[in-house]
Every structure is written in C-alpha cells, then in structure tokens.
Amino acid sequence: MPTTNPTPTTMKHVTMHWNPADPVAPNSVEELIHRSNCLGTDQRITNTGGGNTSSKISEKDPLTGEMVEVMWVKGSGGDLRTSKKENFSSLYQSKLLDLQRVYAARAEKGLKSPAEDEMVGMFSHCTFNLNPRPSSIDTPLHSFIPHAHVDHTHPNAAISVAACAKSIEVTKEIYGDEVVHIPWMRPGFELGLAMQEACKNHPQAKGFIMGQHGLINWGKTGRECYELTLELIEKAAEHIEKKQAERGGEAAIFGGAVQAALPEEKRREVFAALLPWLRGQVSQKKRFIATIQDDEKILRFVNSKDAPRLAELGTSCPDHFLRTKIKPLYIGTAPKADTPVEESLR
Ligand SMILES: [Zn+2]
C-alpha cells in the first residue's frame, strides 16, 4: 500500500520554501521563476545546474495579437536556485507538438537516430518572441507531457529508487498507481514521445520515476506541482529510511564498517601533510583548490566494507557526471604511522 501523504509541516527530507503569501501571480513566468528558485534552494532536490521546470502560459502573440499557449522551460545552463527570466526559453507549444508530425514523416527514426538528433535543432524554430535562450535537451519531455506545470529534478532519494535493481517494484510499493516507472532512455524526442504515451495509458499518474535518472511530475497549478515534487521526494526518502531501519540501521549500511575513522585531530594532521602535496600533483597544468568533506555520512561510506566496490560503480544519474565526473577514485591505503602520508599514496 502506498504510504500516507506527508504534509509540508511533517516533511523531514525536503523543505518548503514557497510561502503561500509570496506575491506571485498564478500562471505567470514570475511564478515559474519563483517555483524554480524555491526548488533549487533545497539542494537535496536537484544538483547544481541540473533539473528543469516549465509552465505552459497563455500569452499574446506579437505576430498576430492573439492569445497563444507558450511553454516557458528552463534553458541550457544556469541553476534553478538562481534562475531569472533570461534563463528560460519560450516556445510556441503548438509548434513543438507539430514537430511530432515532422519527426513521424522521417523514414529512419528512433532512439539515437540522426532524425532524433536533428529535432534538437528544430526547437529554435519554435521560439516565441525572439527569446535568445537556447532550449534544453529536455524540452520535448516538458512539451509532450500534457499538463500545465512540470518539474524535472534529480533528488538523491528518487534516484535511489530509479537506479535500484527492483526499481519497477519499488516505485509501485512507494507510490501505488500515482507514479509510473519509465525505463531509462536518454533525454530527447523519443523520451518525450514515450512520456506522452505513458500519460495516455496512465491517466491517473501524477509523475514518473525515470529509470536510472530522476523524477518528473506535474500539476494543474504551479503551486500544486511544487508541493507534489516535495511530497514525492519525501515519500521516497521515508521509504528508504524505513527499509534501512529494518535492515540494521546505519551500522549495517554499505556492508558495515571495516575500519574506524581517525580521531578528528589526527585527520587534521593528515590533511595538513597530504593536501599541499596533492594540490601540487593536480595543479601542474591548471590550478585547483580542494574541498574536504569528512562528516559522519562520508566517514561511514569510506570506512565501509562495500565502499571500494560502490565507488567503482560510479554515479547513478547521468546528470551528476557533469559536475562529479563518472566515478570517484577510492584509495584504500590508510597512512601508516611511520610513513609520510604522501609516501603511502605514491
Ligand atoms: Zn534530468
């Protein structure tokens, strides 16, 4: 059975940043910007630069003076947290849908076909009001989902569901019929068409878990869409927390600990000895600075039995590659008391 719906006040794994009293007009670009900034402010919801949001809004066409449906969607580059109007592309929704006929007429089409790639270049022909912002590769997803407001995010909790071996079953267990699992497909025209079809086949659905990728969901209003995004993430996180507790809690995670962390003071000593040398190694062609993270969660991972194997598997969501690269380098060698720390890494 699906879990009961969490409310904003009971959510532990996401934070509601959109105050109902915030002065934004419904179904406006300003509302879309506000929703996007609120989503991006909670960094558990999506990675920096990742995810996108859209609203289909009625606007006056400068060419005809008539009202037309315009899809505003976060364009390439930029971050949801800091997005402004210039970060969104605006496209005629009817022209985007017309592209389906252009695509259908192509003889050789399909996933990763030249025809699919060529459709990316067609989006700029659908530009509304000379907006220069290039549209995102996710444009067909937002356009072909037949709902007014759509959020696409990469929350860790949803990715964990999307990338696990039993993703289809787990999606069902958490969400019942309200969220449907869509198998992995690279973002593009074909994925947009697949989502359009899934919306037809599952009219009750409020969102999709995108296999090995993330979450996409929608609402009749911007506010409804935002609250649903939070609710779906919260449900996934609650489920993971519950399963973790049933399986021995934090002590058993990642196969359990195989070594204890050095005391904090000792860790500082090791960093002081290691980091100048390490920066020298990586900065020979281009200067780099490092960020250190040795909080409880990171230490639990690096000291665990499964860490070397899991690190080698790399990140689960392709969007994370952009920032983190495909996989971390796990170095299992603990510095020995009588060996300078940089020696033990050579
Ligand atoms: Zn994505």
Say how many C-beta atoms besides its own lie within 10 A of residue 336's C-beta.
10
Give φ, ψ of 327 to 5 degrees.
-150, 155
CA of 326 to the centre of ligand 1 (A): 16
Q: Tell me how long the chain is.
A: 346
For residue 2, the model assigns a pLDDT of 47
Q: For 154-212, give the DSSP string.
A: --HHHHHHHHSTTHHHHHHHHHTTSEEEE----SSHHHHHHHHHHHHH-TT--EEEETT
Instruction: Give CATH 3.40.225.10 domain extents, the chain.
Output: 29-246
User: Taking the C-alpha atoms of 248, 250, 252 and 257 in order, what is their torsion angle to the nearest 10 degrees?
Assistant: -150
CA of 152 to the centre of ligand 1 (A): 6
For residue 345, the model assigns a pLDDT of 60
pTM of structure: 0.89
Q: What is the mean pLDDT for each group of 10 consecutive residues in the chain (346 residues)?
A: 58 92 92 97 90 97 97 91 96 98 95 94 96 94 98 96 96 98 96 98 98 97 97 98 94 92 92 90 90 93 95 84 84 66 60
Give the CATH number of domain 29-246; options: 3.40.225.10, 3.40.190.10, 2.40.37.10, 3.30.110.40.
3.40.225.10
Give Cα separations from 289 to 228, 234, 330 (angstroms): 39, 35, 19
CA of 320 to the centre of ligand 1 (A): 9
CA of 305 to the centre of ligand 1 (A): 31
Give φ, ψ of 101 to 5 degrees.
-70, -40
Contact predicate 301/258, CB 8 Å = no
For residue 263, the model assigns a pLDDT of 93
For residue 10, the model assigns a pLDDT of 76
